[in-house]
Structure 1
Amino acid sequence: MLSLTAKRWTTTTTTTATKTSSLRLNNSRAFRSSPRNQLAHQAPVKEIDPIPAPTQTPDLPPFHFGAPSSSKDQVEPPEFNYKDPDYKPIVYKDYSNGPSALDKAAKLFFLTEIARGMWVVLGQMFRPPYTIMYPFEKGPVSPRFRGEHALRRYASGEERCIACKLCEAICPAQAITIESETREDGSRRTTRYDIDMTKCIYCGFCQEACPVDAIVESQNTEYSTETREELLYNKEKLLANGDRMESEIAANLHADHVYR
């Protein structure tokens, strides 16, 4: 009984679904087939301009693919035959096969290559020399040249250094060491003034910082030594350098004072 009822219910449901699908298909076809909907789904038609009527072409001469039929139709090319009256062609010798036998004989018998070199030597004999005989001759040196250090004195013999220690403070290589004490008259003077020349970078800051021009760099470059200890300058060594080169140092400072 239950199986018969289930079969009837299934058959009724299938029939209802089939009828519903057929109804939807018919409605869709009817909607598409209506004239109004057909116009709505069609693409807009562009209006095409009418083709103008052909006009009468002018009478043109026939085009010739070959040679012109007459001299009237022939076009002459422009003339580019300008010639410079001063033009002279350059004629080069033919060395495609190497130098000629005459050139080889001239170099062999007349020694042209040696004569050319001797001519250069002869010309240099009457010119001033380009070199100097160092160390007997020395070239010019700028007054601003920074060489060996020196401590200066006043004309009375008193040392110029006032132990302000500005040179020690400004030295970027920390090559200067200064110790000072106060004298009986109240002035302050150095008891130790050492420069390690192996550390010095010759920047000239010590000379620029000194307010009394006590420490200077001379133009002397000939102070090579055999040991490192000889490049550790003390106060006595620096004062001895200043006494020996005082005239030269004073002249250089006077020549450079305009720019300082």
Structure 2
Amino acid sequence: MNEVIEQMLAHRSIRRFTDDPVHDADIASAVEAGQMASTSENIQSYCMIRIRDEARLERLVELTGGQTKVARCGAFFVVCGDTRRHRLLIERGDRSYDARFEALLLSIVDASLFAQNAVLAFESMGYGACYIGGLRNDLPRVQELLGFPEGVFPFFGLCIGRPDQSPTTRPRLPMDSVLFEESWPEERGMLESLDAYDRTMVDYYRTRVGNPVGTGPAPQGWADRMIEKFTTPTRPAVAPYFRKQGASLD
């Protein structure tokens, strides 16, 4: 196993950071690495906006559900899908923008690949990272705060800084739950694999809350968490906000 794979396997979200700054040169290196991620037809429909203003950061703490790390990390960024630059080219050529859902989908993929490449680069320099999906809790108010132009879609926040904690890596699904041959597998086998993973995660959650395996009440497992997640609508304002920003969901 080489050093790159070892670094990737050691990834964990860092939620507490030291007061050390994130150097501009390191940010530039990470962004350059992020830009080398694959992008469909070289469209590059993403951007990353650094937020430095303390008042804005504190407001973002509120809008992300009280995630204080947003204002306490070394550098906070908002990662966006960005079709604005493409629209400017079209408007300059006196034509009409007419991209469909595919354009939004491409920007989601592009921004995610860019961000993960950048995070790997930051981690290689000794920084830690935490993605902030809570940015989408109230996108209309995030819009009021940051004023994105039409064609720019904030997807998630990104905290970067020197780690002030050393959490354990979180177990992932068994490989036979994500790597298949030729087609999607038989469902009974999938459920058996998920049940085994659920038991692993129950033990993991016990450790996180300080209850050794076999002691105290059993924490909620992964399966129950997923059932709650996907049977309760969340963030209903996201799609209307994206439409207002010029995205087609057709």
Normalising by the smaller structure, the TM-score range is: under 0.3
Question: Based on CA coordinates, which of the two structures has the bigger radius of gyration?
Answer: 1
Greater percentage in helix = 2
Q: Give the structure-1-normalised TM-score.
A: 0.18
